[in-house]
Amino acid sequence: MTTPAPIAVALDAPDLETAARWAGLVTPHVSTVKVGLELYLRYGPDVIASVRGASGVQVFLDLKLHDIPNTVGAAARAVARLRPAILTVHAAGGAAMIRAAVEAAPHTKIAAVTLLTSLSAADLGEIGIQGPPSDAVRRLAALAVEAGAQALVCSPQEVAAVRAEVGPDIMLITPGVRPAGADTQDQARVATPEEAIANGADLLVIGRPITGAPDPGAAAAAIAAALRRAVP
């Protein structure tokens, strides 16, 4: 039995049965499964136990909280009892908001999302974030870590710059991961799984390249094997 790969499979499914089936197929190969807004808004807290199943796989709750500190602290407290391994908040909510989440969920890693991987440099310019995305990502990363975030979400294109900024102890999580030649879909700042790991990512978030495959278990196993070859 090989060690599960540092991959969080995004269970972006329309219904609980599909999500639980995907979780069952991928958990022999990956360390983590991720529950996002689609499932959580439809099914609420019960979804966590359903995807965790008997395997004890880590559950990453991706709610990307972004509101005033009091509201985010209360929301983080409400889900902390589900004991997700990781919970996301938007770094752009600011230091006090991030700190409120960290204090409300002491047994969960708070991961601050820097800039969504779906945004290109041109998209970022439209919302007033000029210059290379890595500049703003590094700035948000430093702010979030200073506020107590134990993990950061960024694209694999910025992960080396973020690692240089925050050092070895912060968990770096990268969505926007596509095997060579795969459709990038709505992702803009992407790299391959091997590149993401080589650049310093600790956990790769991968959804549709696995869940959209005819056999999600085999797709997860293939990416896990490619990572083992890249980093033996």
Ligand X SMILES: O=C(O)c1cc(=O)[nH]c(=O)n1[C@@H]1O[C@H](COP(=O)(O)O)[C@@H](O)[C@H]1O
Applying CB under 6 A, the residues found at the interface with ligand X are 10, 12, 36, 62, 64, 88, 113, 116-117, 153, 175-176, 185, 187, 205-208
Q: Which residue's CB is nearer to ligand X, number 62 or number 195?
A: 62
Does 65 count as an annotated binding residue? yes
Q: How far is the CB of 118 from ligand X (least distance, A)?
A: 6
The CB-nearest residue to ligand X is 207
Q: How far is the CB of 12 from ligand X (least distance, A)?
A: 5
Residue in 15, 46, 64, 169 annotated catalytic: 64
Does 71 count as an annotated binding residue? yes
Residue in 15, 67, 135, 183 annotated catalytic: 67
The token pair that represents 22 in the structure block: 């995907």
CA distances 65 to 8, 90, 113, 133, Å, are 19, 6, 10, 21
How far from the centroid of its chain's Cα atoms is residue 181's Cα?
A: 22
Q: Which residue's CB is nearer to ligand X, number 19 or number 232?
A: 19
Residue in 15, 46, 62, 109 annotated catalytic: 62
Residue 59 CB burial class (10 angstroms; 0-12, 13-18, ≥19): buried
**Residue pointed to by tokens 């990572």:** 227
Q: Which residue's CB is nearer to ligand X, number 54 or number 205?
A: 205
Identify which of 24, 26, 32, 135 has the alpha carbon closest to the alpha carbon of residue 88: 32
Does 208 count as an annotated binding residue? yes
Q: How far is the CB of 211 from ligand X (least distance, A)?
A: 7
CA distances 76 to 61, 89, 98, 101, 163, Å, are 11, 9, 10, 6, 26
Q: Which residue's CB is nearer to ligand X, number 117 or number 134?
A: 117
As a whole number of angstroms, the distance between CA 33 and CA 27 comes to 8
Does 70 count as an annotated binding residue? yes
Does 199 count as an annotated binding residue? no
As a whole number of angstroms, the distance between CA 229 and CA 232 comes to 5
Q: How far is the CB of 175 from ligand X (least distance, A)?
A: 3
Does residue 53 sit in helix, strand or coil? coil
Q: Which residue's CB is nearer to ligand X, number 12 or number 27?
A: 12
Does 116 count as an annotated binding residue? no
Q: Verify whether residue 109 is a known catalytic residue.
A: no
Q: Verify whether residue 46 is a known catalytic residue.
A: no
CB of 207 closer than 8 Å to CB of 185: no
Identify which of 44, 43, 35, 62 has the alpha carbon closest to the alpha carbon of residue 211: 35
Q: Verify whether residue 183 is a known catalytic residue.
A: no
Q: Point out the annotated binding site.
A: 12, 34, 62-71, 117, 178, 187, 207-208
Residues noted as catalytic: 62, 64, 67
Q: Point out the annotated binding site for substrate.
A: 12, 34, 62-71, 117, 178, 187, 207-208
